[in-house]
Amino acid sequence: MAVNYNAKEEADGHTSGVGVAGGGAAGGAGKSRKPDNTAFKQQRLPAWQPILTAGTVLPAFFIIGLIFIPIGIGIFVTSNNIREYEIDYTGTDSSSPCNKCLNVSWNSTPPCTCTINFTLDQPFETNVFMYYGLSNFYQNHRRYVKSRDDSQLNGDNSSLLNPSKECEPYRTSENKPIAPCGAIANSMFNDTLELFHIDNETRIPITLNKKGIAWWTDKNVKFRNPFGTTNNLTALFQGTTKPVNWPKPVYMLDSEQDNNGFINEDFIVWMRTAALPTFRKLYRLIERKNNLQPTLQAGKYSLDITYNYPVYSFDGRKRMILSTISWMGGKNPFLGIAYITVGSICFFLGVVLLVIHHKYGNRNNSADIPN
């Protein structure tokens, strides 16, 4: 950038400031009084006067291009190194094992189960994250997004028994307040996914860690079980009823005390509404056991699904995703490609414009623009 720093002779420029602006009405200001000779009032504050010229910007383009392209390549490579495996287990295809469960309803007993076998061609070396993905599911619909009561979820006892109006029509059931109320909670994803490694026809279950999938702040601050004298959740949730679509009440979500009730992590994850109608949510973690073996070896696997969640009625899809994670998160080719593209354009434009600039405008040095 061509820079002219024209510090004007006035030394008191900085002291005058806005404070002076308060004095005097517009009309009376000048009356029989000589205006103050301050830099501010005379509009002569020292100022930096940058001018973008080809001479200053084109090198900047070069530099930006030179920075962006490597970053882009880095991101792209990182993203490509991420292993990701995705299975659609909705069962719309009649050949799919889950096809039988397609029209499952909420309260079908016994639950419909199906098993899908798949093969991983390459091993997943690092920690593996298991996601479930839904499509055409409008978690960002306004009516849906607002249908929750955060103070109830925060453990407020009065809200527990008297949930917010926003929860309608999932506010009460059989004249009892629903806990947790609202459409989001009511429609909580309740398929159970289990993963087995098939090694010589034996199914070795893979340990799926269900803790550590929600934001720490959500789990520890935003979501709280109702407060009471006892630790017995059943007692604490006394007087409430379960959401209509749930098979069991909220205090029976998990056997572990610190993952039960409102602070059940599956529940917390579900409650963070997705931005777009096609989304994925973290389901389980598969931790790497030791350094000798990859977390998931290449080979055959089978996915056991307890198919409870109906999506076919709204033309939705369900997926199970296995993914490793890098420093930049999950697999995302967009950023890398975008960086490379923008960097290249910058670089290219820098070259082209520099040629033009040198051909047509090299007589004047760019810095001496009068102002």
Partner 1 sequence: MEFSINQEIWLRLWSIWCAGEEKRVGTRTVFVGHRPVSETDAYVEQKFCDNRIVSSKYTVWNFLPKNLFEQFRRIANFYFLIIFLVQVIVDTPTSPVTSGLPLFFVIIVTAIKQGYEDWLRHRADKEVNKSSVFIVENAKQVKKHSEKIKVGDIVEVKADETFPCDLIFLASSNDDGTCYVTTASLDGESNFKTHYAVRDTTGLRTDNDIDSLTATIECEQPQPDLYKFVGRINVYRSNQEPVARSLGPENLLLKGSTLKNTKTIYGVAVYTGMETKMALNYQGKSQKRSAVEKSINAFLIVYLCILVSKATVCTTLKYIWQNNPFNDEPWYNQKTKKEKETFKILRMFTDFLSFMVLFNFIIPVSMYVTVEMQKFLGSFFIAWDKEMYDEEIKEGALVNTSDLNEELGQVEYVFTDKTGTLTENSMKFIECCIDGHKYKGGISEVDGFSHTDGPLKYYGKAEKCREELFLRALCLCHTVQIKEGDNVDGLIVNQERSTYISSSPDEIALVKGAKKYGFTFLGHEADFMKVQNQKNEIEKYQLLHVLNFDPVRRRMSVIVKTSTGKFLLFCKGADSSIFPRVQQDEIHQTKVHVERNAMDGYRTLCVAFKELTQEDYKKMNEQLSEAKMALQDREEKMARIFDDIETDMHLIGATAVEDRLQEHAAETIEALQTAGMKVWVLTGDKMETAKSTCYASRLFQTNTELLELTTKAMGNSDRKEDRLHELLLEYHKKLVQDFPKNSGKLKRSWTASQEYGLIIDGSTLSLILNPSQDSSSSNYKSIFLQICLKCTAVLCCRMAPLQKAQIVRMVKNTKGNPITLSIGDGANDVSMILEAHVGIGIKGKEGRQAARNSDYAVPRFKHLRKLLLAHGHLYYVRIAHLVQYFFYKNLCFILPQFLYQFFCGFSQQPLYDAAYLTMYNICFTSLPILAYSLLEQHINIETLTSDPRLYMKISDNAMLQWKPFLYWTFLGAFEGLVFFFGVYFLFQNSSLEDNGKVFGNWTFGTIVFTILVFTVTLKLALDTRFWTWMNHLVIWGSLAFYVFFSFFWGGIIWPFLKQQRMYFVFAHMVTSVSTWLAIVLLIFISLFPEILLVVFKNAKRKNHQKKLSNRKESDSLSSRPSFRPLLLRTFSDESNV
CB of 204 to partner 1, least distance (A): 23
CB of 172 to partner 1, least distance (A): 12
Between 249 and 310, whose beta carbon lies closer to partner 1? 310
Residue 85 CB coordination number (10 Å): 19
CB of 199 to partner 1, least distance (A): 26
CB of 107 to partner 1, least distance (A): 12
Structure tokens at 88: 């659609």
Place of tokens 């017995």: 232
DSSP, collapsed to helix, strand or coil, labels residue 169 as: coil
Structure tokens at 66: 């030179």
Does the CA dihedral 271-272-276-280 come out positive or negative?
negative
Nearest to 281 by CA among 137, 118, 80: 137
CB of 314 to partner 1, least distance (A): 4
139 to each of 92, 105, 110, 132, 244, how far by Cα in Å?
Answer: 22, 20, 28, 14, 18
CB of 203 to partner 1, least distance (A): 26
267 to each of 45, 131, 249, 262, how far by Cα in Å?
Answer: 59, 14, 12, 7
CB of 115 to partner 1, least distance (A): 25
Between 150 and 304, whose beta carbon lies closer to partner 1? 150
One-letter amino acid at 244 equals V
Tally the C-alpha atoms within 13 A of residue 243's C-alpha that lie toward its C-beta: 29
DSSP, collapsed to helix, strand or coil, labels residue 177 as: strand
Answer whether 88's CB lies under 8 Å from 319's CB: yes
